[in-house]
Amino acid sequence: MYKNQFLSCLWQAPVLALILATGSSFAETSTPVNDNHLMPLEQIISQMRKKYGDLVVHNVRLTEEDKRQVRVVDFSDSKNKNQRAVIDARSGKIIEVAQLQTPMSLEKTLEKVKSKHHVAAILKTRIDNKNGQVVRIVDFIDKKHKRWNATLDAYTGMIIDEYTYSMKPQGKIISLNQVITKARQTHKSMVILKTRLAYWKKQQVREIYYLDESRQKKRLVVNASNGEVIEDRIYPSPI
């Protein structure tokens, strides 16, 4: 009898392994995190199907964003729109959902940064690619005169990584939001690629590199103290 049970277990083991290997149509990548008490991925996908219908999952990552364990799920919904969902890996709660057509606007990204930090001044921003992921990097000073470098998901605005270091306080600087608001009065559909605080012709300026309505690359240069536009023209050089 024990011999038969032993043979039965040997027969079931490879079958179970085959089911586990072929039961999912997508692959999950992960960073080293403690997987105790995480909601099963299958349960999370099942919840998403109830909300978004017959979705197709393209990629899943188990990682840490905004200082919590999350699953980042890239999928196409029933209308064939590519989206990204950030889901709490323990509770299964959907934290953020964003479409993958265009990155989140810089204004909304900065709102997310300011919701987590007491920002005194934005120094520079840029869209970049890190490990195959499109990110927005924001360099800013908080009200304690600490300088921060934050890397955020360009689509969801979730903080992927950040670090800080001390620096000397600077003089009066007009906020980046004020500059952007004024610029959008002229270029409503501008896509901001990069911003920075710099010195130009012996004065401190804010530079905004952007695509205009006709998708021409331009550079806007503004006086950092009073917001006066110094230059706004086509910028052919690589950004």
Residue 157, φ and ψ in degrees, nearest 5 = 75, 10
Determine whether domain 176-234 maps to CATH 3.40.30.
no
Please determine whether the domains at 24-99 and 176-234 fall in the same fold group of CATH: yes
Q: Which residue has the higher pLDDT, 37 or 162?
A: 162
Residue-level pLDDT at 199: 85
Which is higher by pLDDT, 17 or 53? 53
How far is it between the farthest Cα atoms of the chain? 91
Domain 24-99 -> CATH class: alpha beta
> Of the candidates 179, 158, 175, which has an alpha carbon nearest to the alpha carbon of residue 67?
158
Instruction: Note the Cα 4 to chain centre separation in Å.
Output: 55
> Could you say which architecture CATH assigns to the domain 106-166?
Roll (3.10)
pLDDT for 172-226, tens place per residue? 788 899 999 999 998 888 999 999 998 887 788 999 999 998 889 999 999 998 8
In the predicted structure, residue 4 carries a pLDDT above the cut 50? no
Q: How far is residue 54's CA from residue 77's CA, in Å, rounded to a whole number?
A: 7
Q: Is-above-0.75 flag for pTM?
A: no
Domain boundaries, the chain: 24-99, 106-166, 176-234
Instruction: State pLDDT tens for residues 71-84.
Output: 999 999 988 999 99
pLDDT tens, residue by residue, 28-67: 555 544 556 899 999 999 999 999 998 999 999 999 999 9
